[in-house]
């Protein structure tokens, strides 16, 4: 019997990477659904054995798409397994080692609140498995590899001193895909939650420095507190406005450098360490060495 798997959010980088991993695989019927496509999701749910819900987007999109999926499932005659992709941001401003039983503070703004709401919806569905992803990096990871590469190549980021001594909970994109695929078929894990991040955590300074070297963006600059303040408080609002204007006018030939948001600096200071004991023991997760992962990311974005 063929297995029918829906990827809800196949239009984002994780969904697309997951779909590509199923290419030419026998015994799997893959249904790729754009995030929030109510008609398509309703049409394919009755035949699905499993759903991967990729919660990527703005806070509003995350809330609406989770509400859509679990609303449809609540009235569905079939009860497919759901692998719900969430985010470590549900832990909010927590510090130290956090495991899957830690308090979900979600106090970092609308995004973390939306992720917590989506998790609560997933938690109300008995067949859901929740994955709390760390910082996804690697090829096709526009935020944490593509955008960071542009900052490093322009020497707008580098060694941040004390501002970059927080822990970077990286997860290589293909390691995350492997965990998702295992969660689709591993028996007896319904209702469980898993942190997904590499067990060895570099500091953000280590990450930026190693990635800059892989990209050839050397020498790596030391970025002081004053420069960071100018980037996040003055340059960032102006760049975001310029980006919005260019997008509204559809002037694709104009290049606007990506803004460095204040939230990045807050994250770079946070000493939070995701415990990965459960995902390693229950789902057999393995982690790509950082140098190899950064080499692949640099190959994509150099």
The CATH number assigned to the domain holding 119 equals 3.40.50.720
- Residue 32 counted as domain residue: yes
Q: How many domains does the chain have?
A: 1
Residue 277: HSE in the Cβ half-sphere, 13 Å Cα cutoff = 7
| Residue 243: predicted pLDDT | 78
- Residue 96 counted as domain residue: yes
Q: Which two tokens stand for residue 296?
A: 């692949």
- Residue 44 counted as domain residue: yes
- Residue 245's pLDDT band (boundaries 50, 70, 90)? confident
- Residue 251's pLDDT band (boundaries 50, 70, 90)? low
What would the mean pLDDT of 159-170 be, rounded to a whole number? 97
| Residue 252: predicted pLDDT | 65
- Residue 199 counted as domain residue: no
- Residue 187 counted as domain residue: no
What Rg value do the Cα atoms of the chain yield, rounded?
A: 20
Whether 108 has a pLDDT exceeding 60, the answer reads yes
Among 89-98, 160-169, 200-209, 228-237, which stretch is predicted with the lowest mean pLDDT? 228-237
- Residue 163's pLDDT band (boundaries 50, 70, 90)? very high
Q: Which of 153, 169, 186 is nearest to 302 (CA)?
A: 153
| Residue 2: predicted pLDDT | 60
Whole-number Å distance between alpha carbons of 268 and 251: 33
Strands 128-133 and 193-196: parallel
Residue with tokens 């394919």: 44
- Residue 10 counted as domain residue: yes
- Residue 21 counted as domain residue: yes
Note down the domain range covering 60.
3-133
- Residue 246's pLDDT band (boundaries 50, 70, 90)? confident
- Residue 59 counted as domain residue: yes
């Amino acid at each position: 019997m063929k297995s029918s798997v829906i990827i809800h959010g196949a239009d984002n980088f994780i969904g697309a990477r997951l779909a590509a991993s199923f290419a030419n695989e026998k015994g799997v019927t893959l249904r790729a659904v754009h995030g929030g496509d109510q008609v398509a999701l309703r049409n394919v749910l009755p035949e699905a054995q499993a759903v991967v819900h990729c919660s990527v987007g703005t806070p509003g999109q995350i809330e609406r798409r989770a509400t859509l999926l679990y609303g449809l499932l609540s009235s569905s005659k079939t009860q497919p397994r759901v692998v719900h992709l969430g985010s470590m941001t549900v832990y909010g401003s927590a510090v130290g080692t956090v495991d899957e039983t830690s308090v979900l503070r979600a106090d970092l703004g609308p995004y973390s609140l939306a992720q917590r709401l989506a998790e609560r919806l997933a938690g109300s569905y008995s067949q859901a498995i929740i994955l709390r992803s760390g910082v996804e990096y690697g090829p096709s990871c526009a935020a944490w590899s593509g955008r960071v590469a542009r900052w490093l190549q322009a020497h707008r980021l580098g060694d941040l001193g004390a501002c970059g001594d927080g822990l970077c909970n990286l997860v290589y994109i293909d390691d995350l895909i492997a965990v998702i695929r295992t969660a689709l078929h591993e028996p007896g894990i319904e209702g469980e939650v898993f942190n997904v991040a590499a067990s060895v955590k570099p500091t953000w300074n280590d990450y930026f420095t190693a990635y800059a070297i892989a990209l050839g963006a050397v020498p790596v600059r030391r970025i002081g507190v004053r420069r960071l303040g100018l980037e996040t408080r003055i340059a960032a609002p102006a760049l975001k406005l310029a980006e919005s204007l260019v997008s509204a006018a559809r002037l694709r030939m104009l290049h606007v450098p990506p803004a460095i948001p204040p939230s990045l600096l807050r994250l770079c200071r946070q000493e939070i360490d995701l415990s990965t004991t459960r995902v390693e023991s229950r789902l057999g997760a393995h982690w790509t060495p950082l140098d190899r992962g950064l080499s692949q990311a640099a190959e994509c974005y150099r």
